[in-house]
A and B are shown apart, each in its own frame.
Chain A
Amino acid sequence: MGKQIISESALDRIEKEHAEWLEEYRKALAKVPKRLERFSTVSDLEVNQLYTPLDTQRRDFFEQIGFPGKYPYTRGVQSTMYRGRHWTMRMFAGMGNADDTNKRFHYLINHGETGLSTAFDFPTLMGYDSASPLARGECGKCGVAIDTLDDMGRLFANINLEEVTTSMTINPPASVLWAMYIANAERQGFSRKKLGGTIQNDCLKEFIAQKTLMLPPEASLRLVTDTVEFGTKEVPRWNTISISGYHIREAGATAVQELAFTIYDGITYVEEAIKRGLKVDDFAARLSFFWNSHIDFFEEIAKMRASRRMWARIMKERFGAKNPKSMLMRFHTQTAGCSLTAQEPYNNVVRTTTEALAAVLGGTQSLHTNSLDEVYMIPSEQAALIALRTQQIIAEETGVTNVIDPLGGSYFVEALTDKMEQEAMAYIRKLDELGGMVAAIERDYPQMEIADAAFHFQKQVEAGDKTVIGVNKYASDRPELEFVLKIDDQIEREQIERTERFKEKRDKVGFQKAMDELVRRCEGPPCWNNNVMPALIEAVRAGATEQECCDLYRNVFGTYTDPGSF
């Protein structure tokens, strides 16, 4: 290894002195009671007391670390990073009806937010209109209720859709909502070629973790691939999948599991698109990722750095990508909802700040910071503002953005980055052995791994091996918060009526024709001529509601229930 950073003679000396130091450390520690039996990350990965060049000595600087914007991108996807532009401050927002959410969008933009992010309510996420009996009590509660093209129009009223990029957190019905977004943008005179944004559209992590289940895996993958294909040809600035570890982590996964399962989901999407006949360098640059930033500071930074290196290597070595853009792991980050506590909710600001800082030091491209009241429900205006201000303070006051990848070269961070990669690669080999992600999901493999980790963590918290302040240590009761958002139950009725009126107005013949074409395409073999997107755009223009499109999917493709083993 010619490119070793430290000479052999220096290493010898370090080794010797390290051994001496270790002896001293052990002796000294024997006199004071050790604080913990075992020191480990929140994912229960054991860490040493000290890291030295010995832990990174075998590294080849160029192969493992290198420079920002250069393969393998450990240090960042751009050469300029935050010296050029800060990450996009993208606050997840959505509540009540389209008008309420539009108001919140404008509020956030006026306070310096730089990108939009839409949260839909559960009926919308599951492909049901507000009138569905399954939607009772849920309309507008955890996000905005969108049934029709008309709702979509009001949601983005007075926003320049060629300037602002929009992220939509929507999965099984992603194609439908995207069709509405495109149809609405074009109706307002914007060009689809210039639209920028992201649909989450990551069906695999739904099977693994979030359980927004609508269609069986094969059909879900087919629809995802349709959107990738359509985006590649028609909406070139759009990120057609946001491959998400966030929800996998929230379901209780360890950092390594989050990393491995998410990257494997990415592998699966790439394979599907290639099967469709797309060339890897034509579409891979539009795949984006989404990480959770949990409370264990260094573990998160190491995870994000490892993720860039892994994806670059996989794209290059497994898929033969040539274009450097195809190798870039660009990602959004959200601080960990599951780390927040209902007890002493103001402490959540501190947690979120720490997690946001990790995301920034990990080199994120955009960031959502949770509001302190998010543990109760979707954020109030006041709490959302504190969360946004948290990002602005990190960006503009703390100075952490002055230097690119400031933790690069830290013995600990580099060793942990390596460890993350090694352990995640072991999972990836295991998933290959199982025959890929769909086969693994059907066997409940990733689900069970996560459930085991979640149960293990819960046991650790109860035994006091892991501390949650205000919960299992310095415990206190839950106080009244001065601001908590309330969603009026009235919204449900109004929304049902609005959609009813919308349906009455549409031209029955044109509507039926559009739906027939959509069925034809769904039933046909997957290919460009049967791509659902053009037909969906016609269907929503002709007045199809979200549920009508999703019911059509359910009829053609069938539905899916989680294996639910223990």
Chain B
Amino acid sequence: MDIVQRIVSGDVRTIARLLRDIDDELPSARSVLQGLYPHTGKAHIVGFTGSPGVGKSSLVDQIATFYRKESKTVGILAVDPTSPFTGGAILGDRIRMQRHFLDPGVFIRSLATRGQFGGLSKSTNDMVNVLDAAGKDLVLVETVGVGQDEVEIANSAHTTVLVMIPGMGDDIQAIKAGVMEIGNIFVVNKADREGSRKTVRELMNLVELGVRRRNGDDWEPQIIETEAVKGRGIDKLCQTIEDHKAYLKATGSQRWRETVEKRTRIQLMGALRDRVLKAVLEKIEQRGDSIDNMVAKIVDRQSDPYTVVQQIVESVLT
């Protein structure tokens, strides 16, 4: 069997190794991804974002349990931050998902941001595609949880879940500008804590504002209280994920098509940007020049950034 077939048939070792190759940007991984692409498009992708410690991993764990009871298979990608100082990382989201370690129907992978901002690693979308091709019914993506501008996940997932906890009033104010718009589902986790109802009420107000701002999309974001450690509210959350999926896929509606196109477009643009930049840099190097040289020239006022870019574009693209 070749690699593509092994992955499509769900071979764990091969999947795990390919994910690493993707993360490390090995050229060989690209051809495998090409071969896998026809097998993708079946999984429902759910993203989870929210500040550190709000319970994202605990929720992912519970949701996986829920779907396993329905015999659905689950892929999980959990992103943690890379240390900007050392390039190393401690990836600990798995700790909350231990009961799935021996279940062949759940594949869990921890990844580091490796210098990427926005809550995901550069490789996340490709990894989602691999798990999709490997036949996972559901792919759950947990972002790093820096809490401020993690909008990337909305471009990766079909359904985005924004997780909060009671007493985050100020935080909600602070993040509402960019992030509130991306949530299809809002979870107030740790509902066992004081102030849960109040946070729900505050959220309701904000969501209404957001809905009015967001034209063309008539999905009304849902607010759900959960207690992840005890599994409370998980049924409702999963039902709402299913509702959102049904909403997107409703017959006669273009929403699914639009969602997928939007997601594909953003990913295509991202990939194109990376690839073109890489190619350009290689060309520059081949010519015996380097970015460092150009920077030096610009700093010494022998040239300027506008001219340099103009020259590169002309010389590379013609």
Residues of A within 8 A of B (CB): 216, 443-444, 558, 560-566
CB pair B92–A561 under 8 Å, yes or no, is: no
CA distance A564 to B96 in the complex (A): 9
Tell whether B229 is near chain A: CB-to-CB under 8 Å.
yes
Query: Which of these, A444, A558, A562, A566, contacts B229 with CB under 8 Å?
Result: A558
CB distance from B188 to the nearest CB of A (A): 16
CB pair A216–B95 under 8 Å, yes or no, is: no
| A443-B53, A563-B53 known; A558-B230 Cβ under 8 A | yes
CB pair B92–A565 under 8 Å, yes or no, is: yes
Residues from chain B with a CB closer than 8 A to the CB of A443 are 53
Tell whether B90 is near chain A: CB-to-CB under 8 Å.
yes
CB distance from A82 to the nearest CB of B (A): 47
Residues from chain B with a CB closer than 8 A to the CB of A564 are 92, 95
CB distance from B92 to the nearest CB of A (A): 5
Residues from chain B with a CB closer than 8 A to the CB of A562 are 95
Top-9 shortest CB links A-B? A564-B95, A566-B90, A564-B92, A558-B230, A561-B95, A561-B96, A216-B229, A565-B92, A443-B53
Tell whether B311 is near chain A: CB-to-CB under 8 Å.
no
Contact with A along B184-207 (1 / 0, CB 8 A): 000000000000000000000000
**Closest A-chain residue to B190, C-beta based?**
A442
Q: List B80-100 residues whose CB lies under 8 Å from chain A.
A: 90, 92, 95-96, 98
Q: List B174-225 residues whose CB lies under 8 Å from chain A.
A: none
Contact with A along B56-97 (1 / 0, CB 8 A): 000000000000000000000000000000000010100110
CA distance A562 to B96 in the complex (A): 9
**Closest A-chain residue to B97, C-beta based?**
A561
CB distance from B265 to the nearest CB of A (A): 37
CA distance A443 to B90 in the complex (A): 18
CA distance A565 to B57 in the complex (A): 12
CA distance A216 to B232 in the complex (A): 15
CA distance A566 to B92 in the complex (A): 9
CA distance A177 to B172 in the complex (A): 48
CB distance from A523 to the nearest CB of B (A): 14
CB distance from A215 to the nearest CB of B (A): 11
CB pair B230–A561 under 8 Å, yes or no, is: no
**Closest B-chain residue to A557, C-beta based?**
B230
CB distance from A300 to the nearest CB of B (A): 33
Residues from chain B with a CB closer than 8 A to the CB of A560 are 229
CA distance A563 to B94 in the complex (A): 11
Residues from chain B with a CB closer than 8 A to the CB of A566 are 90, 92
**Closest A-chain residue to B92, C-beta based?**
A564
Residues from chain A with a CB closer than 8 A to the CB of B95 are 561-562, 564
CA distance A563 to B230 in the complex (A): 15
CB pair B98–A561 under 8 Å, yes or no, is: yes
CA distance A216 to B96 in the complex (A): 14
Residues from chain A with a CB closer than 8 A to the CB of B98 are 561
- Interface centre among A216, A561, A565, by most chain B C-beta atoms within 10 angstroms, is A561
**Closest B-chain residue to A558, C-beta based?**
B230
CB distance from A436 to the nearest CB of B (A): 12
CA distance A560 to B229 in the complex (A): 8
CA distance A563 to B53 in the complex (A): 9
- 17 A–B pairs (Cβ distance < 8 Å), ordered by A: A216-B229, A443-B53, A444-B53, A558-B229, A558-B230, A560-B229, A561-B95, A561-B96, A561-B98, A562-B95, A563-B53, A564-B92, A564-B95, A565-B53, A565-B92, A566-B90, A566-B92
* Extra A-B contacts (14), CB below 8 Å, given A563-B53, A565-B53, A565-B92: A216-B229, A443-B53, A444-B53, A558-B229, A558-B230, A560-B229, A561-B95, A561-B96, A561-B98, A562-B95, A564-B92, A564-B95, A566-B90, A566-B92
